[in-house]
């Protein structure tokens, strides 16, 4: 593990406190993970998404590296149809990934009174529209070049007029 | 607060102060022996009190509480109220979104662009739900979204197709 500042400050502590206790935390994270496997893109509070990411990556790693089905995945994803989806769809899709299996983005704070810090967590290769698109550099467009020329000329004439 | 009560307070504080001064000197006469006994009422009138000691100790200690000595001038007040620690910090991480031009924070997705994507995703999910029919009926196949006039490619062979009756939006590129 990289020795980053948050890691050093934590003094070996790992995993946030959530909900009504450790059992409640595990149940909550299991529900969120089930939702992620079903819908492939979910919106929750940033802290929960960050915690679920750890478990999502661990489960994907476990399933991808072993060829025979692991029964521990039943405790994590409790719906029958999702277990089939995990092995037949997600493992082949994510197996070829060299980087992480999930993506986490922060979105603007929730609209309700708590203004909670929200995030959207998605699995790679999902069928939905992408959250981040690379905008083509519009500096080379004709209009922008003309405007740039006009701006430079204006500053030049102002400098010359000032002198 | 009655006059007798106040007098009692003064009496007790005086004796307390006296004993402390004697202690400081070193005259620790713990055995209280009267130096002079006088019949009849003493120098100060003795009054019978049945109250709790808590209230008495507060009234006794009232002479040793912290209080401001001088009025804080407006100059001093201004220095305290306006120092940078108390002012609101200026944010330097706000920039315009390259897609729509609305303002966004650097580490956060643009609200406008995300809202567009969220609505489209919700509509697609509604279609998926209609296709599945009942809950917990997720098929173990990939999904692909096709817009008007699009045909499934060769790579979309065994996938579940979700149809959308509109033109493909510019921000949803087909890989």
Output the CA–CA distances (angstroms, integers) from residue B56 to B11, B43, B50, B60, in the order listed. 12, 21, 11, 6
Q: CA-CA distance, B108 to A108, in Å (whole number)?
A: 7
- Is A139 inside any structural domain? no
B145 contact residues in A (CB cutoff 8 A): 127-128
- Is A32 inside any structural domain? yes
Looking at residue A1, its pLDDT comes to 67
Confidence category of residue B46, pLDDT binned at 50, 70, 90: low
Q: Do A106 and B107 touch (CB under 8 A)?
A: yes
- Is A140 inside any structural domain? no
B111 has a chain A CB within 8 A of its CB: yes
Q: Does B49 have pLDDT greater than 70? A: no
Which three-class secondary structure string do you get for B47-111? CCCCCCHHHHHHHHHHHHCCCCCCCCCHHHHHHHHHCCCCCCCCCCCEEECCCCCCEEECCECCH
Mean pLDDT of chain B: 83
A128 contact residues in B (CB cutoff 8 A): 117, 120-121, 124, 145
Confidence category of residue B28, pLDDT binned at 50, 70, 90: low
A41 has a chain B CB within 8 A of its CB: yes
Least confident segment among A55-59, B14-18, B35-39, B117-121 = B35-39
Question: What pLDDT, in 10s, does the model give residues B68-94?
Answer: 999 999 999 999 999 999 999 999 999
Looking at residue B89, its pLDDT comes to 93
What residues make up the domain containing A67? 5-129
Looking at residue B27, its pLDDT comes to 65
Confidence category of residue B106, pLDDT binned at 50, 70, 90: very high
B109 contact residues in A (CB cutoff 8 A): 105-108, 120, 131-132
pTM higher than 0.95: no
Looking at residue B105, its pLDDT comes to 95
| Cβ-contact A73, A83 below 8 angstroms | yes
| Cβ-contact B97, B103 below 8 angstroms | yes
Interface of B with A in 68-107 (CB under 8 A): 98-99, 107
Q: Does residue A126 come out as left (phi exceeding 0), alpha (psi in the -120 to 50 range) or beta?
A: beta
HSE (side-chain half, CA atoms, 13 Å) at A40: 23
Average pLDDT on B12-25 reads 78
Q: Which helix (H) or strand (E) holds B146?
A: strand B143-146
Q: Do B117 and A79 touch (CB under 8 A)?
A: no
| Cβ-contact A97, B140 below 8 angstroms | no
- Is A114 inside any structural domain? yes
- Is A119 inside any structural domain? yes
Domain count of the fold of chain A: 1
Report the CATH number at residue A18. 3.90.1030.10
Q: Do B162 and A127 touch (CB under 8 A)?
A: yes
A137 has a chain B CB within 8 A of its CB: no
Interface of B with A in 122-141 (CB under 8 A): 124-125, 136-141
Looking at residue A6, its pLDDT comes to 85
Q: For B141, which of A38, A82, A89 is closest by C-beta distance?
A: A89
B139 contact residues in A (CB cutoff 8 A): 81, 85
Q: Which helix (H) or strand (E) holds B145?
A: strand B143-146
Looking at residue B155, its pLDDT comes to 84
- Is A159 inside any structural domain? no
Looking at residue A158, its pLDDT comes to 94
- Is A60 inside any structural domain? yes
- Is A25 inside any structural domain? yes
Q: Does B1 have pLDDT greater than 60? A: no
Q: Which candidate in A129, A134, A138 is best for mutational testing of the B interface (most B CBs within 10 A)?
A: A129
Q: CA-CA distance, A4 to A8, in Å (whole number)?
A: 6
- Helix extents (H) in chain A: 5-10, 22-39, 46-65, 72-76, 80-85, 91-95, 142-162
Rounded to a whole number of angstroms, the distance from the CA of A134 to the nearest CA of chain B is 9
What average pLDDT values come out for chain A (163 residues) when binned by 10 residues? 84 90 92 92 96 89 70 67 86 81 95 96 92 80 91 94 82
> What's the farthest any 2 CA atoms get from each other in chain A?
81
Q: Does B61 have pLDDT greater than 90? A: no
């Amino acid at each position: 593990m990289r020795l980053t500042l948050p890691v050093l400050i934590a003094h070996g502590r790992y995993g946030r406190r959530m909900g009504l206790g450790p059992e409640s935390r595990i149940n909550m994270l299991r529900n969120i993970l089930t939702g992620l496997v079903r819908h492939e893109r979910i919106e929750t509070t940033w802290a929960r998404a960050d915690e679920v990411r750890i478990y999502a990556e661990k489960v994907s790693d476990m399933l991808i590296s072993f060829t025979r089905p692991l029964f521990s995945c039943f405790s994590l994803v409790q719906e029958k149809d999702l277990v089939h989806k995990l092995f037949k769809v997600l493992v082949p899709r994510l197996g070829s990934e060299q980087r992480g299996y999930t993506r986490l983005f922060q979105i603007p704070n929730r609209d309700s009174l708590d203004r909670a810090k929200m995030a959207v967590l998605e699995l790679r290769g999902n069928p939905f529209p992408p959250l981040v698109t690379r905008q083509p550099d519009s500096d080379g467009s004709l209009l922008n070049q003309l405007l740039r020329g006009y701006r430079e000329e204006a500053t030049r004439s102002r400098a010359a007029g000032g002198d | 607060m009655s006059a007798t009560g106040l007098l009692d307070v003064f009496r007790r504080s005086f004796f307390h102060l006296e004993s402390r001064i004697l202690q400081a000197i070193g005259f620790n006469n713990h055995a209280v022996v009267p130096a002079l006994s006088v019949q009849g009422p003493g120098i100060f009138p003795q009054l019978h009190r049945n109250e709790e000691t808590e209230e008495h100790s507060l009234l006794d200690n009232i002479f040793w509480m912290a209080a401001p000595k001088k009025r804080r001038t407006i100059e001093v007040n201004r220095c305290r109220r306006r120092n940078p620690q108390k002012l609101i910090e200026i944010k330097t991480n706000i920039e315009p979104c390259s897609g729509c031009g609305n303002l966004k924070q650097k580490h956060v997705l643009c609200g406008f662009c995300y809202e567009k994507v969220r609505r489209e995703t919700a509509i697609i999910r509604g279609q998926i739900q209609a296709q599945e029919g009942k809950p917990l009926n997720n098929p173990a196949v990939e999904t692909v979204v096709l817009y008007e006039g699009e045909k499934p490619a060769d790579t979309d062979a065994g996938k579940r197709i979700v149809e959308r009756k509109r033109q493909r939006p510019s921000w949803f590129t087909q890989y």
